[in-house]
Amino acid sequence: MSPRTGTSIDNPLRRLIGMSATNNPNPVRGGRFREEPSAIMERINASVDFDRQLAPYDIAGSRAHASMLAATGILSVADNDAIQEGLDRIAREIEEGTMTWDPALEDVHMNIEARLAELIGEPARRLHTARSRNDQVATDLRLWLRDHLDHLDDALTRLQESLIVQAERHAASVMPGMTHLQPAQPVTFGHHMLAYVEMFGRDRGRLKDCRRRMNESPLGAAALAGTSFPVDREATAASLGFDRPAANSMDAVSDRDFCLEFLAAGAIIGVHLSRLAEELVLWTSPTFGFVRLPDSLTTGSSIMPQKRNADAAELVRGKAGRLTGALVSLLTVLKGLPMTYGKDMQEDKEPLFDAAATLMLVIPATAAMIGGMTVDTQAMRARTDDGFVTATDLADWLVREKGLAFREAHHTTGRLVALAEEKGCDLASLPLDAMRRVDDRLDASVRQVLTIDASVASRASPGGTAPQRVAEAAEEARRRYLA
């Protein structure tokens, strides 16, 4: 950050305010103020430290606005040419890192405008005609978010792809499916992967909804009431790729629904990633031993040489906290704000920026883990021996083959499970005569349904875990999400 330049008499920024007699470098303060802002006022007011990441969008918005002003005769063509050239140069300076940002100028908007005044003089002072920082910042934020929504959609697509590849590889790899984290019924690992593909598919849908609704242009709303200049809002909307101008000028400057919608979608993505990350933490633990992450995605311990910690997964799980926090934070900022703009709304940016940056970290990190993990199919199969996971198959067999009511079959199977537990064996190894003492309708053919492979193969209902269904579902997922 450059040193505070506020009090210097020959501050070049003063050109923007036409060399007024005041000693005030901040063009926003105009002729109204006799005193400088105090240091603490300046500090609480300044946002340029973080909102400078809006700069490319601010420049795009200003270019569109100036061109429209020229096209409607509000601004001369020569002034517009000078503004466009000056903005070009500022864009280059920002890219090269030579732009100096001054907190005395509050925010990204005033910094760019002031630099423009330094570069081109008088025409810069005409740029803010028929515009306010209120419609300007709302425009910048929407442009910023639109770009980020597109990047996030790409990142989620890559994550889905990594899951689909594992699903294809493991369409028939069996594992214990859980409810309550207790062994429930055997499933395939591929099926489990595709469950997440659906979750991230809905997440992409939410981002798409958000994008569709947010793509309206606030420009021309000015401070809150519209403007007395004959602006062409359709033109600025079209040139910035918006679908239409926002209908109501008051709503246009005070609405931050698009930020909330994004943050809500982001928080849900964070929760989804956190659930997957939690499973990776469990699966990579030797207690499960289902999954091994590559060395490149694993950390060691400073004291225990044997450790392979899934830190990346834990961080993905942990960062769900900041994503949820960002949503709650902005909801709380906006709650109770009267129409229209209030400076509280400057607090929208940090949660928004942090959420986007966090998502652009955790989504690719998860994709890397899923893409790089190796799955120990033997270990997963071995764990299906625990917990009598084919008990439902036995009950279903009693219903299908012997005509029992399901409730009776459930009860009978429960007794068989208790018997197996007593004998320390699994259901398939129960001696037939012992089984028949529980219910004499049981016969040897029941054994066929008690194997793990028979169990998963039998769950061939649409959306079920049968390997055949999983292979088809993976193909369908490719078509639906990766095309």
Segment near ligand ARG (CB under 6 A); pick from 63-71, 77-85, 343-351, 456-464:
343-351
Rank residues 141 and 193 by Cβ distance to ligand ARG and give the closer one. Answer: 141
Task: By CB under 6 A, name the one of 90, 104, 137, 446 that touches ligand ARG.
Answer: 137
Q: Does 69 bind ligand ARG (CB under 6 A)?
A: no
Cα distances (angstroms) measured from residue 242 to each of 84, 214, 215: 21, 9, 5
* Residue 214 is a binding residue for ligand ARG (CB under 6 A): no
Task: Tell me how far, at minimum, the Cβ of 111 lies from ligand ARG, in Å.
Answer: 10
Binding flag, residue 133, ligand ARG (CB under 6 A): yes
Task: Give the whole-angstrom CA distance, residue 68 versus residue 217.
Answer: 14
Catalytic residue, candidates 2, 20, 76, 301: 301
Cα separation, 192 vs 190, in Å, equals 5
Please report how close the Cβ of residue 355 comes to ligand ARG at its closest, in angstroms: 17
| Nearest residue to 113 via CA among 184, 45, 26, 203 | 26
Does residue 327 belong to the site contacting ligand ARG (CB under 6 A)? no
Q: Binding of ligand ARG at residue 128 (CB under 6 A)?
A: no
Based on CB atoms, which residue is closest to ligand ARG, 252 or 477? 252
Number of residues counted as binding ligand ARG (CB under 6 A): 10
Among 120-128, 133-141, 379-387, 475-483, which window interacts with ligand ARG (CB under 6 A)?
Answer: 133-141
Q: Check residue 47 for interaction with ligand ARG (CB under 6 A).
A: yes
* 301 assigned to active site: yes
Q: What is the number of other CB atoms lying within 10 angstroms of the CB of residue 458?
A: 17
How buried is 201 (Cβ within 10 angstroms: 0-12 exposed, 13-18 middle, 19+ buried)? Answer: middle
180 is catalytic: yes
Is 358 a binding residue for ligand ARG by CB under 6 A? The answer is no
Residue 74: name the closest of 128, 138, 140, 132 by CA.
128
Which of the ranges 131-139, 209-217, 277-285, 464-472 carries the binding residues for ligand ARG, by CB under 6 A? 131-139
Secondary structure element (H or E) that encloses residue 179, with its range: strand 174-179
List 38, 180, 228, 445, catalytic entry: 180
Exposure letters 116-131 (e unless 16+ CB within 10 A, then b): bbbbbeebbbbbbbbb
Contact between 102 and 64 under an 8 Å Cβ cutoff? The reply is no
134 is a contact residue toward ligand ARG (CB under 6 A): yes
Instruction: Report yes or no: 40 and 48 within 8 Å, Cβ to Cβ.
Output: no
User: Does residue 258 interact with ligand ARG by CB under 6 A?
Assistant: no
Residue length of the chain: 483
Report residue 384: phi and psi, to 5°.
-75, -10
Name the residues annotated as catalytic. 180, 301
- Site residues for ligand ARG per CB under 6 A: 47, 51, 107, 133-134, 137, 341, 343, 345-346
